[in-house]
A and B are shown apart, each in its own frame.
Chain A
Amino acid sequence: MITTTIGSLKKNSSSPRVILGTVMTGLSGLCMILTLIPLIAVLFFVFVQGFSRLDTDLFTQLPPPPGLDEGGLANAIIGTLVVVGIAVVIAVPVGVLAAVYLSEFSHGNKFATSIRFATNVLSGVPSIIAGIFAFGLLVSSGIVGFSAIAGGVALAVLMLPTIIRTTDEALKIVPQEIRWAALGVGAYNYQTVLKIVLPAALPGIVTGITLAIARAAGETAPLIFTALFSNFWPNISPQGLAEPIATLSVLVYNFAILPFKPQQELAWAGSLILVLLVLGTSILARLATRRKVY
């Protein structure tokens, strides 16, 4: 073997090693392309099918009864806003303050390690399990019944790990000197955290929350037996929050499996709105993380 290559430092393009390399490079590129095909196919169909149904009725009308044409999904859009809003009200304070403890006050003790571990485990919990949890906690125990609140609690459980993890990461990036400087001029711990550290980490935290919201808005499994569905306008009042409510994601699921064309078109339009939401927040998140305070 050695004797054949002595004297020639040129790359022999017909040697099996070189050919193997070229073939493998091509194959790995092919893997990359095959990975992106589904993304393009999904986006293509959602955009083509969804846009054909995109009009003002979509945002102002109720869904039509089975068999009838036209209508919109205004109640589901409002419902998604309500349910996700409830989830945000619960998950953001809990998530951000828990992350503040992990990053600012725990000094990396054993307890913090186990809470970080619990966060990771929680993020691996299937979304349908969060639904059963909210059902068992609020619905079957008779506290509120099938309702926007039960749906919001289920979504909050799913949002928590994302918020904690991104806030934790964002706080870690804030330089230690800033904390020392704040404490050095006599600030309390709470002043350091609330007025100095959290504002510095804000872009990262907001990004995390936005991504969590986008993910929660698309979640279906935890809502189908907590928030259920409704064909009518949501009742926007404290009592209304304890009633079943329509959401975009559940509407897509319910209408996709109906044999009626108008309902299927609405399902595509609902998907388009969800996909645009995800696309928009992902791009915004990219831009936000590019700007750094320190």
Chain B
Amino acid sequence: MTQSDYSNTDKIMMGERSPLEKTFDQGFRWLTLGFAISIGLILISIAVIIAVGAFPAIKQFNFSFFTNSNWNPVTDEYGVIAVIYGTIVSSLISLIIAIPLGVGAAVFLSEDFIPEQIRTVLVFLVELLAAIPSVVYGLWGIFVLIPITTVFGTWLNQNFGWFPLFSSPPAGPGMLPAGIVLSIMILPIIIAISRDSLASLPPDLRQASLGLGATRWETIFRVLIPAAISGIMGGVMLALGRAMGETMAATMIIGNSNRLSISILDPANTIASLIANQFAEASGLQISALMYAGLVLMLLTLIVNILAEYIVNQVKAKYE
């Protein structure tokens, strides 16, 4: 560099910041703030737009929406009790399958039964399970899972038909295969969060328990799982939220029947699958009723997710 270059730089360094650049700097800050605010606005406008769309149906049906089990576009008579029941039961079936499997796998992955490298691969595979699009699970469910559950369901019906849950011969699509596919889809959430909360426990807990003479599994059952239980519960709540809102796999497998039936071998419907199935062809009051159902679904998942968030944060605060 020559002498003149240096003096040139000097001038720039000594010079005042131009007002334009100062404004630009401030502007950039405000811009990022604006985008941050927009996240909150999006959330609010989702609720507002759906509520506005649902308004005609809310005015027409009010609370009878929750006591009527008919969903009849021909007579314009709509009620969601059957689909709320379907949403809750299919989610419960998926939780009953996924909780023991998920917590068991999480314990397996958080202990040192197998070398670290293999565990990393297994964790990756579990993540992959969450990444597969739900429509692919739906396709697989139609052509692979339903034939299997139909055989299994026929056996259940023939041998345990006296039990109300198995009281009908399987029709193919139904609550049971839908619950099974949902359980596959929520397993990764339960495993990931249970594993995180087990791994974040202070090592002193384990050392103290082993030092008192407890075996590994006594430590797991009496010390580690009780200490991590609120984290695991949070994961289960998140999984419940996912199962209730899951749409494609449910709509392709559950059979889309609005008839309320106690047997899990019968076709059923969930709020999400009802919307997916009818929205594109709906018109008039039916759209509004579907939006009302969407509002109900959104509130349900919102409550479940906020509870989950709260529980998981409590755990973080406890051990940090």
Do residues A126 and B245 form an inter-chain contact, with CB atoms below 8 A? Answer: yes
Taking CB atoms, residues of chain B closer than 8 Å to A20 are 215, 217
| Interface-facing stretch out of B140-148, B159-167, B199-207, B261-269 | B140-148
Taking CB atoms, residues of chain B closer than 8 Å to A164 are 39
- What number of A-B contacts does a CB cutoff of 8 Å give? 262
Q: At the interface, yes or no: B171 with Cβ under 8 Å from chain A? A: no
Do residues A127 and B247 form an inter-chain contact, with CB atoms below 8 A? Answer: yes
| Interface-facing stretch out of A27-35, A55-63, A174-182 | A27-35
Chain A 93-112 interface residues, beta-carbon cutoff 8 Å to B: 93-95, 97-98, 100-102, 104-106, 111-112
Taking CB atoms, residues of chain B closer than 8 Å to A253 are 135, 138, 248, 252
Do residues A128 and B247 form an inter-chain contact, with CB atoms below 8 A? Answer: yes
Do residues A221 and B247 form an inter-chain contact, with CB atoms below 8 A? Answer: yes
Do residues A118 and B40 form an inter-chain contact, with CB atoms below 8 A? Answer: yes
> How distant is the Cα of A148 from the Cα of B143 in the complex, in angstroms?
30
Contact of A128 among B52, B217, B294 (CB under 8 A): B294
> How distant is the Cα of A129 from the Cα of B47 in the complex, in angstroms?
9
CB distance from B93 to the nearest CB of A (A): 15
Contact of B128 among A126, A135, A282 (CB under 8 A): A282
With A35-B105, A136-B49, A140-B287 as contacts: A189 and B301 at CB distance below 8 Å: no
Against A, the Cβ 8 Å flags (1 = close, 0 = not) of B211-253 are 0000111101000000000000000001001101111100010
Which A residue sits closest to B184, measured CB to CB? A38
Do residues B136 and A94 form an inter-chain contact, with CB atoms below 8 A? Answer: no
Taking CB atoms, residues of chain B closer than 8 Å to A28 are 104-105, 107-108, 111, 113
Taking CB atoms, residues of chain A closer than 8 Å to B178 are none
Q: At the interface, yes or no: A232 with Cβ under 8 Å from chain B? A: no
Taking CB atoms, residues of chain B closer than 8 Å to A132 are 49-50, 53, 275, 279, 290-291, 294
Against B, the Cβ 8 Å flags (1 = close, 0 = not) of A16-33 are 011011001101111110
> How distant is the Cα of A135 from the Cα of B215 in the complex, in angstroms?
57
Which B residue sits closest to A37, measured CB to CB? B184
Contact of A160 among B29, B39, B122, B244 (CB under 8 A): B39
> How distant is the Cα of A94 from the Cα of B43 in the complex, in angstroms?
14
| Interface-facing stretch out of A39-47, A69-77, A201-209 | A39-47
Taking CB atoms, residues of chain B closer than 8 Å to A224 are 276, 279-280
Contact of B104 among A32, A137, A256 (CB under 8 A): A32
| Interface-facing stretch out of B20-28, B72-80, B149-157 | B20-28
Which B residue sits closest to A49, measured CB to CB? B143
Q: At the interface, yes or no: A278 with Cβ under 8 Å from chain B? A: yes
Contact of A29 among B17, B113, B125 (CB under 8 A): B113
Taking CB atoms, residues of chain A closer than 8 Å to B111 are 28
Chain B 50-70 interface residues, beta-carbon cutoff 8 Å to A: 50, 52-53
Do residues A121 and B43 form an inter-chain contact, with CB atoms below 8 A? Answer: yes
Do residues A35 and B129 form an inter-chain contact, with CB atoms below 8 A? Answer: yes
Taking CB atoms, residues of chain B closer than 8 Å to A127 are 245, 247
Do residues B36 and A225 form an inter-chain contact, with CB atoms below 8 A? Answer: no
Top-10 shortest CB links A-B: A126-B245, A218-B133, A31-B104, A124-B305, A101-B32, A221-B247, A190-B28, A136-B49, A28-B108, A101-B36
Q: List 19 A-B contacts (CB under 8 A).
A: A35-B101, A97-B31, A97-B32, A97-B36, A104-B32, A106-B36, A115-B36, A122-B42, A132-B50, A133-B45, A136-B52, A164-B39, A188-B25, A211-B131, A218-B132, A256-B135, A264-B143, A268-B139, A278-B132
- A128-B297, A224-B280, A271-B133 known; 15 new pairs, CB 8 Å cut-off, are A20-B217, A32-B108, A35-B191, A39-B129, A106-B36, A114-B40, A115-B36, A133-B46, A136-B53, A137-B45, A140-B53, A217-B133, A218-B134, A224-B279, A278-B128
